[in-house]
Amino acid sequence: MKDIRADAFKVSADAETVSVLFGARQPGAECGRSLPVTDRIVLTRELAEALHARLGEALAEPAGSPSQGLSGATSPHGALPLPSAIEGGAEKARLWLAEVQGLGLPYGLEHSYKLLDKRLLRNRLLVGFRVDAGAAGLHEALCDLCRRLDMPQESIEAFAAQIGAANIVLFGFEENETTCLYKAYLEFGGNLKNMSLENPVPFQIHAGYKWDAFDNRRSSIARYTCHPLLSMQAIQDRLTAFYGEGRDRLATIARKLIARAAERVGEYEFIYAEVLEDGNPRHSYDINLYRANMRVSELRDILMEMAEYFRIPLDDADAAFAWAQDQIVGHLSGGTDRQGRDFLTVYFGAFGSSC
């Protein structure tokens, strides 16, 4: 297939056809000069109208999707996890997806890759719903969904008590080396909007409820503390301090990725949070990079450096990142997981930030 890159286009129509002309600027050409036509596509009116309708559907932001962090998909296309390596994992994935779609709401979709020593975990999905302007009964419907997914009772009570303060609710499915997890997050975006610009102080931006899909007695609650309005240099400094001595290369890789994203935006554009869970050694950070609107392909070299650090087969990593190359990089998280292991996770979605 021919790769067409154009600097300009022009549309013309007659009674039966619609023509789209493409032009490309020649090296050294003066601005303002007419561009030579390089290609022309002629469509029947019926086909042009159908194409216009489909493009409109694709570009429209779903009413229930978050405006940042999880924006994009409104259909299950691309949402199904990969074949499961866990006995019963495929059934758990299908149940999760059926329950999420059963709400009948448009949602945002985000994939992620988690890198651990010699492992690349890919069966990880998040879907998000905006709930701050939700319909009557939506909160109860989301709590019922938690019950059907067998969230522990203690977590359901905490989830129900906090959902009124959330503007976004997210549900996650994750397959690791030994089991599958269900996850539910409450995002408190209002805390970010209401913070003092003169005296920004840390606040809780997410609550994360996570439980084993096969045995909900294995569960945890994560608290995400946002450190607002950090400059890019301050984020870099926090990463250096976070990793401390002996993990210099991890710190370098993380700083390099953040610096690449920072080339696209100004200071104070990224949201930095740190994460703790009771009862396990989890201590990690999460940096929201959506405002950079940067594709996975633009970070390919750094992502492969991550894979090399974690001793992941490079052919596997290359294929995985190639699959996601046109997606927008959403978050970078890293630190120590529940088993005390170093990790880095890259989240990505179909759309970037409109903020």
Q: Mean pLDDT across the stretch 256-267?
A: 89
Angle among Cα 108, 286, 294 to the nearest 5 degrees reads 60
Q: Are 169 and 159 in contact (CB under 8 A)?
A: no
Q: How many residues are there in the chain?
A: 355
**Can you tell me the distance from the alpha carbon of 354 to that of 60, in angstroms, rounded to the nearest whole number?**
12
Other CB atoms within 10 A of residue 264 CB: 14
CA distances from 147 to 151, 157, 187, 213, 292 (A): 6, 10, 19, 12, 37
The predicted-structure confidence for 184-218, as pLDDT tens digits, reads as follows 999 998 887 777 778 889 999 999 999 999 999 99
Q: Any idea what the Cα angle at residue 138 is, between residues 135 and 126, rounded to 5°? A: 115
Stronger pLDDT, 278 or 10, i.e. the higher one = 278
Task: Assess whether pLDDT exceeds 60 at residue 78.
Answer: no
Write out the two tokens for 53.
């309708």
Which tokens go with 240?
Answer: 């250096």
CB 205 within 8 A of CB 222: no
As a whole number, the mean pLDDT across the chain is: 83
**What's the confidence (pLDDT) of residue 156?**
97
DSSP letters spanning 277-328: ETTS--EEEEEE-GGG--BGGGGHHHHHHHHHHTT--HHHHHHHHHHTTTSE
Longest dimension (CA), the chain: 71
Q: Which of 74-88, 229-243, 341-355 has the highest mean pLDDT?
A: 229-243
Q: How far apart are CA 142 and CA 135, in angstroms?
A: 12
Q: 55: pLDDT confidence band, cut at 50, 70 and 90? A: low
Is the model more confident about 278 or about 146? 146
Supply the pLDDT for residue 59. 42
pLDDT of residue 114: 97
Q: What is the pLDDT of residues 82-119, one digit of tens each?
A: 678 889 999 999 899 899 989 888 888 899 999 999 99
Strands across the sheet with 37-44, in order? Answer: 8-13, 17-23, 37-44
Distance, CA of 63 to CA of 128 (rounded, Å):
12
Tokens matching residue 339: 């088993």
What is the distance between the alpha carbons of residues 98 and 29, in angstroms, rounded to a whole number? 55
Nearest Cα to Cα of residue 317 among 330, 333, 301 = 301
Question: What pLDDT is stored for residue 65 in this prediction?
Answer: 33
* Nearest-angstrom CA–CA distance, 339 and 336: 8
R_g over Cα of the chain: 22
Is residue 69 scored above 50 in pLDDT? no
